[in-house]
Chains A and B, each alone.
Chain A
Amino acid sequence: MNIFLRELKANSRSLFFWCLFIVFFIYMGISKFSAFTAVDSDIMAMLEGIPPVVLEGLQLNAFNLTTITGYYGVMQSYFALMAAIFAVLLGNGIIAKEERDKTVEFSLTLPIPRHKLITGKVAAALVNCAIFVLVMWGGSIVAAQPYQPDEAFYQFLGMLMLSSFFIELIFLTIGVLLGAAMKEYKRSGSVAVFILFGTFIFSILSALSEDLEFLKYFSPFVYFDPLKLLNESKFDPGYLAISAAICIISLGLAYFSYAKRDLYI
């Protein structure tokens, strides 16, 4: 419990700045959106004539940007990316920083087993992720108010935010695993960045070419495609299962390897 509280406190400043950035970003976006609503809806109607395959291939969106729902559909790609960055840094840092700051000597000689240390840290990180999404959610709802959103919008927004949270969970646990399992903390950070960037690239490549479509299974960004969420109004159970598997395996491995490894100062 004390570890949990300490970590919460230690991360509160960084969380605060992230939240500030999100709020600013949402505000910025919505002010841009207001300009879009002015676009003639006849022109928007023409959009629907474009074959969706083509649009998807281009990774351009088939969201109607003149509606608030469509707007948030587009924003989701940025939300998801930010959430992923936040989570992977948090997950990796919360473990790796002990070695980086040469505090392992202290924290690992405390009279608690290592798995408790991880549990405390992961719990604190989860709270951080939850707050991150809640701020994003709240900010989005407030920003959408002037456009009289309907019930369907709130449902869609809720799904988007849940997607962001799931993406956070995936990257958080991957980050924790890297921090816990890798001998060199500096390299674990680089690997985390590579994974983040790689999965981001995969999401683009998989949409671009059928030959590389299989890459979508390796990219959490594809698991929660906002367009699909809008059309089907439910999460894809297959992808949900993959996500859960990634989280559980990463976390399990993290506990396993951290308990066994040598720590260097």
Chain B
Amino acid sequence: MNIYLQELKMKLRSIITWSISVAGLLFLFFSIFSTIVDEMEMLNAVMANYPPELLAAFGWDNMDLSTVLGFYAFTFSFIQIMISLQAANYGYSLVSIEERELTADFLLAKPVGRAKILTNKLLAALTGLLITDLVLWSTSFFAVRTYAGDRAYNSEILAKVLITAFFLQLFFLGGGLVISLLLKKVPSVIAISLGSVFGMYILAAFGSSFNEDKFDYLTPFKHFEATKIVNTGEFDQPKMVISILVIIISMIASYVLYQRRNIPTV
């Protein structure tokens, strides 16, 4: 419990910063929704004249910024980057920060098992991510309600999109943690988290612009693609399972690796 509280305390500023940024981004996007929505409707009218093959080839068939949820899905794709960055940061630095700051000796010489240390740390990180999620969830509903005007939207689907946020975070939390434990000495935290998150994002975005589905299995951004959920109203279950497997495996592997880890000498 003491480790959990201490970890949470140390993360507090970061949690607040991320939460505010996520909320800010959401409002920033939605503040322009009403001004561009007419333009988008015009675009839809134009696009309706084109053959569906063409639209599909460019991925325009599934992006509709003139509906509330379509626009939300678009916004959410950027929110995803942010929350992933936060999660990757937490995951990657969870134990590596102790070694970098040379505090591992302090903590590990205490009468607690490593599994317990890791559990406490993980719980603290999860709490941080959940707080960000809560902020995201509440501001999302608020922003959508405020800016939607009299446009209709399905809040159940919105909830479905929002819930994926947590899975995406778990993916990067677990992934970051495992990477940090696979390395003997850990290089810079931001380099790894930024690299992996944007790497995955680029793969996903690239896949979208060129209608390439080879990487869909690789990148979690495709496992929880908001546009797809909005269009179909359903989760992309087979791909979600991949992510969930990755999460489970990475968590188990982390415990095993941490248990056996040789702490580098000061």
Contact = CB atoms under 8 A, between A and B. Distances in A.
A54 B194 contact: no
Contacts of A25: 202, 206
A159 interface: no
Interface string A74-117: 10001001100100010011001100100000000000000000
A121 to B, nearest CB: 15
Interface string B193-226: 0110011001001100110100000000000000
Nearest to A75: B206
A210 B188 CA distance: 39
Contacts of B85: 193, 197
A197 B36 CA distance: 23
B205 A54 contact: no
Contact of B28 (A39, A43, A92, A205): A205
Interface residues of A, number: 49
A208 interface: yes
21 contacts: A25-B206, A32-B210, A39-B57, A47-B54, A50-B46, A54-B39, A57-B40, A58-B40, A58-B43, A58-B65, A61-B209, A74-B210, A89-B190, A93-B191, A97-B188, A190-B14, A190-B190, A193-B190, A197-B85, A205-B28, A209-B36
B58 A60 contact: yes
A46 interface: yes
Interface residues of B, number: 43
Contacts of A237: none
Interface in A45-63: 46-47, 49-51, 53-54, 57-58, 60-61
Interface in B6-55: 14, 17, 21, 25, 28-29, 32, 35-36, 39-40, 42-43, 46-47, 50-51, 53-54
Contacts, number: 100
Contact of B188 (A189, A205, A212): A189
A239 interface: no
Given A36-B210, A46-B54, A89 B188 contact: yes
Contacts of B81: 197
Interface of A: 14, 21, 25, 28-29, 32-33, 36, 39, 43, 46-47, 49-51, 53-54, 57-58, 60-61, 65, 74, 78, 81-82, 85, 89, 92-93, 96-97, 100, 186, 189-190, 192-194, 196-197, 201, 204-205, 208-212
A89 B60 CA distance: 33
Contact of B21 (A54, A92, A100, A194): A194
Contacts of B65: 58
B239 interface: no
Given A29-B206, A50-B46, A211-B32, 13 more contacts: A14-B191, A21-B199, A32-B210, A32-B212, A53-B39, A57-B39, A78-B206, A89-B195, A92-B190, A100-B188, A190-B17, A193-B85, A197-B85
Contacts of B194: 85, 89, 193, 196
Contact of A54 (B14, B42, B202, B206): B42
B35 A211 contact: yes
B54 to A, nearest CB: 5
Contacts of A29: 206, 210
A78 B63 CA distance: 20
Contacts of B191: 14, 89, 93
A81 B60 CA distance: 22
Contacts of A14: 191
